[in-house]
Structure formats: C-alpha cells, structure tokens
Amino acid sequence: MAVLAGAAAMLAPADAQAATANSTGGYSFDWSYGHRVSSCDNRSDSHSVLARWYDGSHFGTVIDGNGANNGCADSSYQDVAAKKHQSCYRGTLGESCGDYVYTGY
C-alpha cells in the first residue's frame, strides 16, 4: 500500500475474476460480477457457439451466431448473477458442450 503525505492511499475495488468455460470451437465467460455472460466463437467455420448459464433457479442462453471468429455475443444484464455457465459448440446443447464452470457468485 502506498503512503501519500502521511495518509494511506485507498485502492478502488476491482471486478472479481471471470470464470471461463471452454468447448471445442468456443468459450463463454461471465462479467459484471456474474450479471452478464458472453459467448465467443474461436473458429472461422460457420458454426455458432452457445453459452448457457444458471442463476440458481433459471437457465439462460446467448448465442454467438456468426461462426466467424470475430467477436463475442453478450447477454443482457441479468438481475440475478449466474452461478455457473458452459459453452456449447454449433449452438446446441448436449454432446457439444464443455463442462460447467462455477462463477463464485
């Protein structure tokens, strides 16, 4: 901690570390303290990537449908923070999904 003119400097709180879930062809991550989830394609193969999250009572999804490895799709702000999320390649649930990761919220 830095000391300035005899007073302790206060540091601003930082956002918690985001959890990243991987699948073949894509990944998802949470941000804004778990109130938003992004779905990201990391292949230029015309297949979409779906992120699925669970907030403790409801599931939600967001799809990066461009299949072109050029950015992510972001969910809208959710009132309840995601407890866990996963990434699913080809925009489908099931075999193409990676494991859930827990956000800590």
Output the pTM of the full model: 0.79
| Angle, CA of 88, 38 and 57, to the nearest 5° | 75
CA pair distance 91, 9, nearest whole angstrom: 47
Share of the chain above pLDDT 70, in %: 83
The predicted-structure confidence for 74-101, as pLDDT tens digits, reads as follows 999 999 999 999 999 887 777 789 999 9
The predicted-structure confidence for 58-72, as pLDDT tens digits, reads as follows 999 999 988 888 889
Q: Go through the domains of the chain in sequence order and give each one's CATH number.
A: 18-102 (2.60.40)
Q: Please state, rounded to an integer, the average pLDDT across all residues of the chain.
A: 83
